[in-house]
Structure 1
Amino acid sequence: MLTPEGASYSRSQCKVLGLFMLLLMLGLTVMSWFLLAFMSGGCDGNACTHEDQIVPDVPESPLLSIFVSVASYRDPECKDTMQDIFSKAKHPERVFVGSVQQLATDIEEACWRPGLKWGQQIRSITVPFSEARGPTNARHLAATLYRNEDYFFQIDSHTTFRQDWDEHAIAMLDRCPSAKCFLSHYPPATGDPGLQVPVLCMSHFDEGAQMPSFEARNFDLQVGEFMESPFVGAGFQLSSADVLLEVPFDPKLDMLFVGEEILYSARLWTKGWDMYAPDMNLVWHHYNRSEHPNVFRDRTEEWWHPQQGANARARFLLGMNETAPPGETPSSLAFYGMGTARNLTDYWRYAQIDPWERVADSQQKFCHKHVRRRAALPGPQPAAGATDAAGQNATARKLLQPLLHRPSP
């Protein structure tokens, strides 16, 4: 046999060469098969079947987050409250705290202990107690620490929590009979077994402040039973975080105490939020803290004058004064005023209060156990936590963040 170059090979040499080439091609094929199986299967060296092949995990949906607002004035109990927030949450990784601490000493009155495991999830503003401007201003400052979480939860700095409170809170908003649900009340006192739920249903006039004020009555409620309330308390507020953008806290209510809650109640209602008591107790509050510092006792010579200005501002926004406070106009007050979803006059009628004649009769309407339940929705129900009340306006929140974080005047 002649090759192209003219070299000659015997027939037997050609057979050996052909067999060698065949074996080489077969070896390359087998190696390719094993390499492909190794890259796609990962079965510890065993032969792979469909059942053995590794399937990538489907990532779980991210946990809905909760922003907890805590305003503290020289409160040595705040450390315990902060610890309770995280240690009793079922998912502490989804909890973020906005803390405003007004201090005379960093050691006794600071709101967290060094080394707190979840300390990186606490955002804080520290104010010298001598510059404190009262509880309403502190709540405004705390709200500026909000960073687009799904839920808003406001408490006082001397509060203890139910175990797994975060899961209960989100489930409670799922059960609420309104898409714009705002849950609030005066929590039961520390040490109370908490079998009954306080509902803000009674009202009267505080003649000193010339403002409506209110109080609670206890009711036996089952899970899913919600009682309407025309009022909200500052020490327990739970809702979608959209409320922080729709009903922002007013920074010009220095030293206001009586009047803070009725003003915020009216603003919520006129902006379309429906107010209910929670259907179970999530927290307990330490009342009668006469032994602890208080801004009005600490600054006896300084609080009265700014409080009168704040009271006049609140009364004007509530339609109880005809003249706007000095330096303000109706348009300058609009951002912190009433909404357009419902009328202020209708709110007074709804709450059974006549602010001009100083007649308050809310208990006749609200202090009876008339409960509402969430209506069954047609079709498949959303998974727990996927509520109507949370996350609907995420895009709007991002667009309106600059308004929320505007500096205090």
Structure 2
Amino acid sequence: RMADAFQPMAWSIVLLALFTLSHANYDHCNCEICGVKDGHKSMVFGREVEVTPKPGEPRPFPPKDNKHVRNDTKVHMLLSAFRDPRCGQTVANAFLRATHPDRMYVGIVQQNLEDKDEFDCITIYCNLMKDEGYEACPYMDHLEIVRVDAKQSKGPIWARAIGAVLVRPEHDFCMQVDAHVDFMKGYDVALMKMWAMTENEYGVLSTYVGNVKQDLSRKGEVLIGHPNYEIPFICKTIVGGHGVVRNSQATGAYCLPKPHLSYTWAAGWSFAKCHFERNIPNDPYLEGMFDGEEFGRMIRLW
């Protein structure tokens, strides 16, 4: 509705990493470097930041429904894989780490060389789930895959645009990830809580994720950030190849009691209501583009 679109800051983008709510006491920070006598300091790139809006400041449009507090809310994971044998493990991780795996749905765009790549994302997923004790390949009705000859591939934006076709009207939240990621235990519940903290129907959680082997244990326990509650945060852009603007490397943010507002967006991991994918789709005609993928979509998000 037009009235919704013109609410102050309705299209704001909120950036934060997946790990923040892994701490049991995530509503404040107790680490020594953050604590001060009369409160706590939140820092981004070594500078103190204010994360609580001041009285009278514009506020975003609040959530329109209660789907972020329900356990049956449908979450669709968009996954694009280019000749990546780790795709099946990522899909398995998504179901095995979720508190409510029945609500997870996955749309896969697999780009393999038909005459060289013998692995298949779904086949590997089924074998891994069998190793976990499942008699049959579970959640097959929650999986959709588009198989493309890698020789015909036209770049990451093109592939992600194909994947968006798999987002169904009944899907509530959409999470875009790379084909080689893992998740903390209970990530689906943590993400809902984190998104709720934005108090923004149009809030988008996004960042560059870290190294799996350094950040998570084999059981999905979070290792990153202790004891300083530190997470990666993107707040800068640079001029990349051919003069195209792209995101800079993530810097560090710590002691954030809630997601902190920034202006960038990361293609490797984002989480938002699915109207994000429906209203601000990837442009399939940006063929062969890598630098500029994120900046172009971020501008349209705003």
Give me the TM-score of the superposition, normalised by structure 2. 0.65
Q: Aligned equivalents of 1:212 and 1:86: distance in 2?
A: 32
Instruction: Name the residue aligned to 2:232.
Output: 198
> Aligned residue for 2:251?
217
Same amino acid, percent of matched pairs: 25
Alignment partners' CA distance in 1, 2:103 and 2:123: 18
Give the 3-state SS of the residue equivalent to 2:105 in structure 1: strand
Aligned-pair CA distance for 1:189:
1.6
Over 3 Å counting, the alpha-carbon distance change for 1:108 and 1:194 in structure 2 is same
Question: Separation in 1 of the partners of 2:175 and 2:98?
Answer: 13
Asked if 1 retains the 8 angstrom alpha-carbon contact of 2:235 and 2:263, the reply is yes
One-letter amino acid of the counterpart of residue 194, structure 1: I
C-alpha distance in 1 between matches for 2:254 and 2:71: 35
- Alignment partner for residue 241 of structure 1, among 263, 274, 294? 274
Q: Does 1:68 align with 2:77?
A: yes
Question: AA paired with 1:110?
Answer: C
Q: How does 1:7-46 map to 2 (within 5 A)?
A: none
2:246 touches 2:294 (CA, 8 Å); kept in 1?
no
The one of 111, 121, 124 aligned to 1:110? 121
Matches of residues 10-409 of structure 1 in structure 2 within 5 Å?
63-104=72-113, 105=116, 107-113=118-124, 114=126, 115-148=136-169, 149-190=171-212, 191-192=214-215, 193-195=223-225, 196-206=230-240, 208-222=242-256, 224-269=257-302
Q: Compute the displacement of 1:156 (Å).
A: 0.2
In the TM superposition, what whole-angstrom CA distance separates every residue of 1:35-59 from its partner, at most 9, and x where no partner exists?
Answer: xxxxxxxxxxxxxxxxxxxxxxxxx
3-state SS in 1 of match to 2:190: helix
Higher RCO (CA < 8 A, seq sep 6+): 2
Question: 1:249 offset after TM fit, Å?
Answer: 1.5
Q: 2: distance between equivalents of 1:81 and 1:70?
A: 9
Q: Which runs of 4+ in 1 moved over 4 A?
A: none
The letter for the 1-side match of 2:194 is M
Which protein has the bigger helix share? 1
Distance change in 2, residues 1:62/1:208 (3 Å): closer
Deviation at 1:214, TM superposition (A): 2.1
Question: Which amino acid in the other structure matches residue 295 of structure 2?
Answer: I
Q: Counterparts of 1:62 and 1:197 in 2: how far apart (Å)?
A: 26
Q: Which has the larger radius of gyration?
A: 1
Whole-angstrom distance in 2 between the partners of 1:93 and 1:122: 12
Q: CA deviation at 1:112?
A: 4.3
TM-score, normalised via structure 1 length: 0.49
Report Cα offsets for 1:76-127 as digits up to 9, x if no partner.
Answer: 1111111100011111110100100001256324344335322221111000
Inter-partner Cα distance in structure 1 for 2:244 and 2:73: 42
Secondary structure of the 1:208 match is helix
User: Whole-Å Cα distance in 2 between the matches of residues 79 and 202 of structure 1?
Assistant: 33
Pairwise CA RMSD: 1.8
Residue ranges of structure 1 left out of the alignment (5+ in a row):
1-60, 270-409
